[in-house]
Structure 1
Amino acid sequence: MISEEKNIVVSCPGCHKKFRIPKSIRFQCKYCRTLIDPDLYISLEESRVSIPDVLRGTKEDLVDTFQNLNKKRQHSFFPTPKHLMKKLAYQFDNFISYGPLAMFLTLAFFFVATWIFCLSLYFITGYAVDMGDQIWETFLQICDPSSMEKATEKNFFGKLLAVITGFLGIVIFSLVIAFLTNIFAQKLEELKKGHSSIVEEDHTLILGWSDKVPSILEELIVANDEKKSNAVVILSHRPKEELEDYLRSIVKNRKTTKIVVRCGEISNISNLEKVAISHCQSIIIVNEVPKNASKTELALSDTHIIKAILSICKNPARRPESFNIVTELLDPKNIDIAKSIGEEELTVFYSNEIIAKILVQTSRQNGLATVYNEILSFAGNEIYCINEPGTHGQTMSEIVCDFPHCIPIGLKQKGRSAQINPPMNTVIGPGDEILLVAEDEKKIYYQKSSKSLGHFRLPSALKQKARPERYLLLGWNAKSESIIREYSDYLSKGSVIDVAVPYPSVEIEEVIKKFQKRLDKIEIRLLKTDYRLREELDKIIPFSYDNIILLSSQWGEAATIEEIDSQTIYTLLLLRDMQNKAGKAVHTKLVTELLDPANQELIQIAKVNDVIISNQLISMLLAQVSRQKSLYEVYWDLFRAEGSEIYIKSVSLYFERLPVEVNFYDILGVVSQRKEIAFGYRIQRWGNRADLNFGIKLNPDKQKKILLDKEDQLVVVAEDEF
């Protein structure tokens, strides 16, 4: 007889029925069949938990809590079938989550299990005669249900087994088809996301996305035209499908260039490895900041670029060969930081300053914008740097005629910066590179010529002297301050710069005041007027100025590039209408800044040929330097006020009797007498014809005769305008 002291009361964790049993006996609940182990039961007294008097009323709740604890402990030692199924399902889910290989192994297991199961049924029922034949027959029935016709000779049960086997085979192969479909769908989805790796070599890598990228792509497509195949890879945070759809509509004729798009953060090292950065030819990092960005956004955009440069140049697993990295920064204070990271591998453009220099130069000379648009683009003539051993030991004047299809305009001596229009007695040595204007790299070759530089003499007229000028700046943007600074290097004493702004901010007024104090030889004035209105524009009398620069400015609600360009084009049409109604000849030079290259054809309706597409020019520069790193020094020498620049000068400075029929050898000879180099001409009567490049012909056939009149001009590199 079991004593009363050794009995305990336990509660079944399954159905909560209570039992009084000896503490040492395990038993199974007669109601729910749950196994109960009294040794795992913890009573409230055995827990040694002291309950204060104030909590005595909650004793029953504490008992229920201990019973729940007992239930958990018993489940851990004696899992129920339901718990086992959950655990198996959990393990199966974990196994399947490993991916396609796990799914394939699961299908293979089901196939083998089905085969063994069906084969066992044949042997159990006695329908299997020979093991080898039956194994093969069962395999065929699973793989090919049509093989069940062999079972027509069997009785009902034999036919039933064949049907079961065939049905299970259909289920298995349906799962296989679903598996393959899922694999292809996953792969397609992965490709759509743009996270897969590429296998390319000698490709151009573009990091980031902005409205400059389509122009960069167009330039690279032209540059790759002579090659059988070349790739341009774009890595951006923008969705791959979105960019591919956009590029498909914008960049239609890709010729031999393949464009590959991938999605990811440009400063992430693993993303850079996916786009084969170790095998790329060059890297272009574009600034992703929108046009209407705040100063905070501008600074943040520069930091993203600097971080990407850091990931490329300081990666421990980087390639031993140096990179050719080209980028643009919006804050000049960040240029030194970026160069300290990229060192010799990095070329940085401060885009606002470069565009400002080009706008100032083109505003002073009609047709210069067309020249820049050609030499900065891969279409038409551009600048090349070559090392030609045949020229070593000769002077610049001796090699001017020795390149049949191109024209030398400068020299980059070993260990020195590039120089446009060097002294003609400069001797070319080993390691020196000649700067040439040529249509294509294949047309550059050296051939000693017996041609003379002509017999023309310069006119006896004295050089013109600089005079005070009046300039009008319509609008204000990030380049305006640099434009005024550039003008101060060109304008003579007594010149005037008027800046017309509809709603000048305090910052704009402070900049104008700063220039008024600093620049004593020229006068800077701020005109608070809305030049977009005809009556306000009339008050300014715009065509009383020598030059006008119409800037792309963000006024009012204009936020997108298209809206900003629309306002600029509208103002330009107002100016052209005023010019047509003036009733007299207007000699004011007008240059217009636009942002979207798509508007260039539209602007030609207004018969404007001096148009600067600022985004396109920066895109051209990035593309050119990504192919020839040494060109950066060449362009910098061209754009700065010091040294030689590109000028379009009247032929009357070179020929005393006009009109005159000459070839380009004659032009090279007479221009060299002024210590200048000619590389093109401008025919005035073709000035409004876009199909003839507005009358400008660069690098012409040197032997072809040209009829020059007094209104025509020559394109030269020279130290001054006169």
Structure 2
Amino acid sequence: MTTTFWDTMNHTFDPGNLYGDDRSRGSLAIMLIATIFGMFFTATLISIINNGLEARMDALSKGHSKVLEKGHTIVLGFSEITYAILAELIRANENQSVQTIVVMDMKIDIDVMEEKIQQHMNRFIASLPAAEQKAARRHTRIVCRSGHIYSLDDLSMCSIETCSSVIVNSIDDSHTLKAIMACASVFEKLYDKAAPGTKVPHITAMVMKRENQDAAIVAGGKYLELVCYEDLMSRIIASSSRYPGLSYVYTEIFNYAGQEFYCVKKDDIPLGSRMNTDMTLYDLNQLLPSSIAVGGIDADTEHEVSISEKLSDPFAGKKSCLAPTMDDIRVRDLEFLYLIEEDDNSIAVLPQAPEIHLKAPKERAAAKSPVHYAIVGCGPLILTVLERLSSFLAPGTRVTIIGDGGEEQTTREKQQAYGKAGGELHIKVESARLDRYHDLYEAIPADATSIMVLSDAPTGEDQALADKEMRPVEDVIDERTLSRLVFLRQIREDRKINFSITCEINLDRNRRLAEYTGAEDYIVGSRVTALIMTQIAQTRELHRLFAELMDPFGTEIYFRRVGDFMDVSAPEGITLFEAAAALQKQNEVFIGYSRLISQDSGRKRYEIPVLNPPKYERCGNGGAPIRCHFRPDDRFVVLSSNSYS
């Protein structure tokens, strides 16, 4: 019986065994049937295996296979902002073990997405110093997947259950809201199953319009940290128009290159027994030679609040976390500290604070002349920019808005809308052809002190041209912005008007193009947004700091004239510890300086701001504070809650 079964199986799987088989006709007939069945069975089996392999290869090629990773970062949505996000994550991973980033979107072919990302990242890595390029390539792995950013099945394909954080990067607010809802539902289940104290992933998302913030907050609940593009960009543009050069400071502290914000445990600062004294943050800064403490949070900084409380007050249940508004809190009462320092630097502490010798300023700056702001273009940010300007400009300050053409009725409607947004500012709306030099020349006020160029909203014609030429629609809009920027430079030269220019740019490559021929402030929306979202995705606690820094009624970054705070005429110069002490008297935190380069026809030009400059130098086994020589019109970069200029 066993032999018969074995022979049958041999004939089933190997038809060649039938040849030369010495059996009875009945046995041969049975073996022939077994052989024919075996041929069909083997063919079917091979077909099943082949189809399975083809389906698997097809899934891999189309980006539908599951990502088998833990602790990775997921980026949902592919746009121009994605490149900046990936670049910052690569920088952040340079001193880490190998980290994986998963990018998922449905609106672009997976092969095209992979090719574009590879091209941009290769260019970015090539731009890094040679010492960093090897680490950048080795420590980050980018995986692309094709799927809907709000599909639970597609999110599962990205292993969302085991990720460290999710960045929602869609430029469509409706898709963003759905993606937040999907991610939050997954994290809610993880939270219910997790042991007490287990860290659950969080969501960092951006909504383009302020009107969609509330819906996003409700959808994301406690798992969401939200950035509003309108509010963020309006705040930075308005502030930079007031202090030329401030856009560089924002970009520097928001990214991972150079000086940046860190949230560190108090115990990681080697203070020893001094930790238990009445030391304030200002006292601590007198002991830090290579970093600056700007604030901190304690265990009771936040308590659980309801969604309705969050909607009515974004800061509900939270205390101030920045030094100028922390009511003289002691270091011993804090759990975490916010520091400005350079990546990979250990936190050094001096054994004792240097001696401070302060002299009162000999003369203060003359009273400032009235300011007159002009805004060229009525883009999507115009209303929020006016709201921001009204929060710090004196009532009655003149603001002229120059729109591109339009009928008289439209101009009157704009006058009403802009007047309401500008509060007590004196708003005037002018109409001009912004693509014609002479029209713009006539529209610019003769006494303008600061001009903002706002990016236009995309039109159907813009999108059609972008599709035809296969480039982002933002690039088409930037062309008009750059044209207006060139006109303004020429107008400033022809009319001898001393005004500063702050320009909103959509794409970073166009910002680099504009910088070749001018030293204006360029605010690149995609880049700034990407920098902040990446920082929050990596360190959730930083959202609290950024939110307060961007709040019009909280602590902000300012430039202060050096001569208004101290006498700098001594030939030996001053130490930066003394600069910090002089600013402390006004409840302000020193974070850097910017030197005056030249002053032509009343227009002052400054060096690029230096943030967190070294304050101490080594001399053998000892050390000494570094002495700097300033002029009265040089500027300190400070954190302050005082809005005076």
Shared fold (TM-score, shorter chain, > 0.5): yes
- Secondary structure at the aligned position of 2:482 is classed as helix
The reply to whether residue 304 of structure 1 matches residue 178 of structure 2 is: yes
Aligned partners of 2:591 and 2:493: how far apart in 1? 34
Matched, 1:700 2:613: yes
Distance 1:450-1:344 versus aligned 2 partners, 3 A rule: same
Give, in whole Å, the separation in 1 of the partners of 2:8 and 2:527. Answer: 61
**Which residue of 2 is the match for residue 83 of structure 1?**
none
Q: Distance in 1 between matches of 2:561 and 2:446?
A: 22
Report the alpha carbon displacement of residue 536 of structure 1 after superposing the two structures with TM.
0.6
Report deviation, 1:117: 3.8
Instruction: Return 280-289 or 614-623, whichever deviates more.
Output: 280-289
Q: CA deviation at 1:507?
A: 7.2
Describe the superposition over 1:289-309 as per-residue Cα deviations: whole angstroms up to 9, x where unpaired: 3xxxxxxxx5x3454344434
Q: Is the 8 A contact 2:11 2:18 kept in 1?
A: no
Q: What is the deviation of 1:628?
A: 1.6
Residue of structure 1 aligned with 2:297, choices 387, 412, 417: 412
CA distance in 2, matches of 1:309, 1:507: 43
Which residue in the other structure is 1:482 paired with? Answer: 384
AA at the equivalent of 1:210? S
Match of 2:78 among 186, 201, 209: 209
Q: Which amino acid aligns with 2:228?
A: Y
Separation in structure 2 between the aligned mates of residue 110 and residue 244 of structure 1, nearest angstrom: 53
Aligned residue among 588, 593, 615 for 1:676: 588
Which is bigger in relative contact order (C-alpha 8 A, separation at least 6)?
2
- The structural deviation recorded for 1:422 is 3.9
Task: Spell out the pairing of 1:430-441 with structure 2 (5 A cutoff).
Answer: 430-440=333-343
2:285 aligned with 1:400? yes
Q: How does 1:272-671 map to 2 (within 5 A)?
A: 272-289=155-172, 300-314=174-188, 320=194, 321-389=199-267, 390=271, 391-393=275-277, 394-413=279-298, 414-415=300-301, 416-422=319-325, 425-440=328-343, 442-445=344-347, 447-452=349-354, 454-459=356-361, 461=363, 468-504=370-406, 509-516=412-419, 521-541=424-444, 544-554=447-457, 557-559=461-463, 560-582=473-495, 584=496, 586-658=497-569, 661-671=573-583
- CA offset digits 1:217-264 (Å, max 9, x no partner): 111111111012111111211322121011011111352111111111
AA paired with 1:382?
E
CA contact (8 A) 1:235 1:262 kept: yes
Distance between the aligned counterparts of 1:701 and 1:596, measured in 2? Answer: 33
- The answer on whether the counterparts of 1:203 and 1:233 sit within 8 Å (CA) in structure 2 is yes
**TM, length-normalised to structure 1:** 0.71
Residue 118 of structure 2 aligns with an amino acid whose one-letter code is R
Give the whole-Å Cα distance in 2 for the aligned partners of 1:339 and 1:436. 28
Contact 2:240 2:502 in 1 (8 A): yes
Moved more, 372-381 or 249-258: 249-258
In 1, Cα distance between the equivalents of 2:157 and 2:58?
A: 17
Give 1:494 deviation, angstroms: 2.5
Looking at structure 2, the residues matched to 512 and 555 of structure 1 have their Cα atoms a distance apart, in angstroms, of 22
Q: 1:567 offset after TM fit, Å? A: 1.0
Max Rg structure: 1
Q: Secondary structure at the match of 2:610?
A: strand
- Structure 1 residues 116 and 213 mapped into 2: Cα distance closer, same or farther (>3 Å)? closer
Whole-angstrom CA distance in 1 between matches of 2:72 and 2:429? 49
TM-score, normalised on structure 2? 0.79
Cα 1:536–1:116 change in 2 (3 A) is closer
Specify the SS of the correspondent of 2:294. strand
CA distance in 1, matches of 2:440, 2:570: 40
Q: Distance in 2 between matches of 1:240 and 1:554?
A: 29
Identity of aligned residues (%): 21
Change in Cα spacing, 1:423 to 1:629, as seen in structure 2 (3 Å) is closer
Could you tell me how far apart the structure 2 residues matched to 1:635 and 1:386 are?
Answer: 16
Quick check: 1:453–1:668 contact (8 Å CA) kept in 2? Answer: no
Give the secondary structure class of the aligned counterpart of 1:418.
coil
Q: Over residues 277-299 of structure 1, what are the superposed CA-to-partner deviations in whole Å (9 max), with x where a residue is unaligned?
A: 1111111111233xxxxxxxx5x
Q: Matches of 2:205 and 2:436 in 1, distance apart?
A: 39
What is the Cα deviation at residue 178 of structure 1? Answer: 9.2
Shift of 1:469: 2.0
Deviation at 1:479, TM superposition (A): 1.2
Q: How many residues align?
A: 557
| SS of corresponding position for 2:597 | helix
Closer, same or farther in 2 for the Cα pair 1:402/1:543, shift >3 Å?
farther
Measured in 2, the distance between the counterparts of 1:343 and 1:402 equals 40
Is 1:236–2:105 an aligned residue pair?
yes
- Cα separation, 2, equivalents of 1:392 and 1:628: 27
The 1:424/1:404 distance shift into structure 2, 3 A limit, reads farther
Secondary structure of the structure 2 residue equivalent to 1:666: helix
3-state SS of paired residue (2:357): coil
Q: Secondary structure at the match of 1:512?
A: helix
CA shift digits 1:323-345 (9 cap, x unpaired): 21110123434323332332221
CA shift at 1:646, angstroms?
Answer: 0.8
Give the secondary structure class of the aligned counterpart of 2:214.
helix
Offset of 1:464 from its aligned partner?
6.5
Could you tell me which amino acid in structure 2 is paired with residue 712 of structure 1?
Answer: D
Deviation at residue 588 of structure 1 after TM alignment: 1.2
Q: Contact (CA 8 Å) 2:244, 2:500: kept in 1 or not? A: yes
Find out whether 1:257 has 2:140 as its counterpart. yes
Indicate the SS of the match to 1:421.
helix
Between the aligned partners of 1:239 and 1:420, the Cα distance in structure 2 is 48
Tell me, which stretches of 5 or more residues in structure 1 are unaligned? 1-108, 127-164, 290-297
Q: Return the offset for 1:675.
A: 2.2
- Structure 2 distance, partners of 1:110, 1:549, is 88
Give CA deviations for 1:3-31 in whole Å, capped at 9, x if unaligned. xxxxxxxxxxxxxxxxxxxxxxxxxxxxx
**Quick one: structure 1 residues 465 and 110, their matched pair in 2 at CA, closer, same or farther if it must change by over 3 Å?**
farther
Q: In the alignment, what sits opposite 2:313?
A: none
1:544 offset after TM fit, Å?
2.7
Which residue type is aligned with residue 289 of structure 2?
P
| Aligned counterparts of 1:508 and 1:258: Cα–Cα separation in 2 | 52
Amino acid in structure 1 at the alignment position of 2:217: K
Q: 1:616 to 1:519 in 2, by over 3 A?
A: closer
Shift, 1:503, TM fit = 3.4
